[in-house]
Amino acid sequence: MQLLEAIPKKEYILVVDDTPPNLQLLLTMLTRKGYEAYGVSDGIKALSHVQSDPPDLVLLDINMPNMNGFQVCQQLKSSNLTCDIPVIFISARDEVLDKVQAFAVGGVDYITKPFQIAEVLARVENQLTLRRLQRQLQEQNERLKQEINNRIIAEILLQEANEKLGRLVNLDGLTQLANRRCFDEYLEQEWQRLAREQQPLSLIMCDIDFFKNYNDTYGHVAGDDCLRKVSHLIKESVRRPADLAARYGGEEFVLVLPNTDIEGSMLVADVIRKRLEELALPHEDSSVSKSVTLSMGVTSLVPKTDSLPSVLLTSADYALYRAKELGRNQTYQIG
């Protein structure tokens, strides 16, 4: 079954003239040329008709009762709904001032009476061609705006997707802290920066005491919940944007504290310990407390360009080992 092609809509012209022979002649020649034409005999009717059925072009006489052509054109151009409709004046008035006023109120052309049919048709077609081109340009601009908006939306969605992917790549799924990969990259970055600036870098390594016993007693689901709560507490204990809290592995956590000396890092460790005591997560199978506790190793130094961040990591790991060796549920510092 073949689809019928859409029949092009005839361009519609409103003719405004209070002289019946002129009005009829203009309507006849426009209709024969293939346009849709409608005539009215005064300005008030013209304005009313334009509001209800906007034409593609207005042929407008000047000398009319009640409201002359200049006034009609002014009102058309003052409305956002009709200001783009081209108006061609057709008048017996041939004075220069009349023509100047016609263009001043918004007319696009001026034809004097008695008119020649060929001239009127040529000028009408010229203005309608300009009108068609104007509409095509407007449509192209609208399509371009839509394409730009679509591209902007696509870029925003892509950025959001990349940010989400970045979070997934850098975050530990269970605790929502930075993961080991993110920690390693950040430690290296801050080591290089602070080596150039010769400023201190501190590390706190934490381990939940007797966490295997916790899992054995309460189950792995409760163990995961415990990890989440401790992780949240650790994250909330560091407020500076440059500080990073990460899950180092299993029940171990690590905090990177740039531009922080040993005294400052010990204060952070004390805050974590105090908040964990206040949280009072039950741990019946702990040898050091009836609630969940942490052993922490704290170390601080000024990085050197000829050394590696593993120096700091090894020192923090040893400090943590000493905290456990000395009885757990305590902080041991090096630096």
Least Cα distance to 232 among 272, 186, 277, 283 occurs for: 272
DSSP SS3 for 3 = coil
Number of CB atoms found within 10 A of residue 232's CB:
16
Beta-strand runs (E) in the chain: 12-16, 36-40, 57-60, 87-91, 109-112, 201-208, 244-249, 252-258, 294-301, 331-334
Q: Is 269 within 8 Å of 298 (Cβ atoms)?
A: yes
DSSP SS3 for 135 = helix
Least Cα distance to 304 among 194, 205, 187 occurs for: 194
205 beta partners? 254, 297
Catalytic, 251? Answer yes
Chain centre to alpha carbon of residue 59: 47
Query: Rounded distance, CA 328 to CA 311, Å?
Result: 23
Chain centre to alpha carbon of residue 76: 39
Least Cα distance to 114 among 27, 12, 26 occurs for: 26
Catalytic residue (choose from 11, 251, 252, 263): 251
Greatest CA span in the chain, whole angstroms?
116
In the chain the first and final C-alpha atoms are separated, in Å, by: 87
Q: What amino acid positions are annotated as catalytic residues?
A: 251
